[in-house]
Amino acid sequence: MKILFPLAKADSGSDVFTYNLVSGLNNSSIQADIQYLPKWSGYVPSIMKKICKTTGYNIIHSNTWNGYPFKNNLPLIVTEHHLVHDPIFQPYKTSLQRLYHSYIFQCEKKSINVADSVISISNYTKNKIEEVFGYSDSILIYNGIDENIFKPFDVENQKIDSNNVVPSKKTMLFFSGNATIRKGGDLLPKIMNELGENYSLLISGGLRKNTHLNAPNIVSTGKLSFQELVEIYNYADIFLFPTRLEGFGLSVAEAMACGKPVVTTDCSSMPELVVDGKGGFLCEMDNVKDFAESIRIIAEDSSLRREMGIFNRKRVEKKFTLDRMVQEYIKEYKKL
């Protein structure tokens, strides 16, 4: 069986998902190839099929934004990563985004209608596909991360780049990902100002340039290598993620796998990952004081931090591993 993944890089979690799945499939004796397409082709999905070589493959696996052009004599499977048409996110969009997303809506609708299998990466996403597109047959397969790479380890003697170090007496928070409005990047300085000088936030470079981050207690790590990312997860005390919309939340799962408590938003897929009060806290969207207070509760109780971290690690091992995700996709491929 040979699976083709056409990919116009989006510099987002959907790219990471593709890399992880392809790697896992190849390690499971299923041949999977990524065919990289020009980034601009992602804005013109209809042209992607013309520049993509599909000969020799058994199944095409794409995302819902650009899947429909690839539907021919080969089975097509599409994955919905996050539904930008979710009504909860409408107030946060720019006029240009609304215009672009109206175009994407038509592309996704075509893909969902012609695909042989539609995958949702969370129950929340599955329900929103039904609400927005009227499609009720999508299959839930949670994203997975490699728990053998993202894991807790002792950072006592770990050498961290001096550019990333802040005073050890401060409580260390970490945000990983593109600090967009959707992910609550604009809330990070407000939360850190509310917390004050005894708290510091490390923020990774993500796959895009981070913005809205002007605060004295925020330190940018710049773009991190894979190993550095795992080190910073472990170096931090708490993972902060004030998102407004997630299809799944890979960075949250990575932090959980590293045994870290998570403070995030009580919205979209987050309650499916973080169990409120056990693995961290779920906060009201946009409520800066709620985020700050939740962080203080965890920061001031080392036993609670440890218990939450252990709980999160076990939860990832049970529900969100890369191997579990790969095996569930293989079942779908075999059905097709």
Q: One fold for both 2-144+321-335 and 162-319?
A: yes
The confidence score (pLDDT) of residue 18 equals 95
Average pLDDT over residues 83-99: 91
Q: 100 burial class (0-12, 13-18, 19+ CB within 10 angstroms)?
A: middle
The confidence score (pLDDT) of residue 224 equals 81
Average pLDDT over residues 260-279: 98
The answer, yes or no, to whether residue 192 has pLDDT greater than 70, is yes
Q: Which CATH class is domain 162-319?
A: alpha beta
Most confident of 66-75, 153-162, 276-285: 276-285
Q: Which CATH class is domain 2-144+321-335?
A: alpha beta
Q: 331 vs 82, which has greater pLDDT?
A: 331
CB 119 within 8 A of CB 138: yes
The confidence score (pLDDT) of residue 206 equals 56
Average pLDDT over residues 297-322: 97
pLDDT in tens, 199-218: 999 998 654 554 456 678 88
Q: 186 burial class (0-12, 13-18, 19+ CB within 10 angstroms)?
A: middle
The answer, yes or no, to whether residue 164 has pLDDT greater than 50, is no
Residue 219 confidence class, pLDDT cut points 50, 70, 90: confident
Q: 29 vs 168, which has greater pLDDT?
A: 29
The answer, yes or no, to whether residue 20 has pLDDT greater than 60, is yes
pTM comes to 0.92
The confidence score (pLDDT) of residue 169 equals 57
The confidence score (pLDDT) of residue 269 equals 97
Average pLDDT over residues 188-207: 88
- Domain extents in the chain: 2-144+321-335, 162-319
The mean pLDDT of the chain is 91
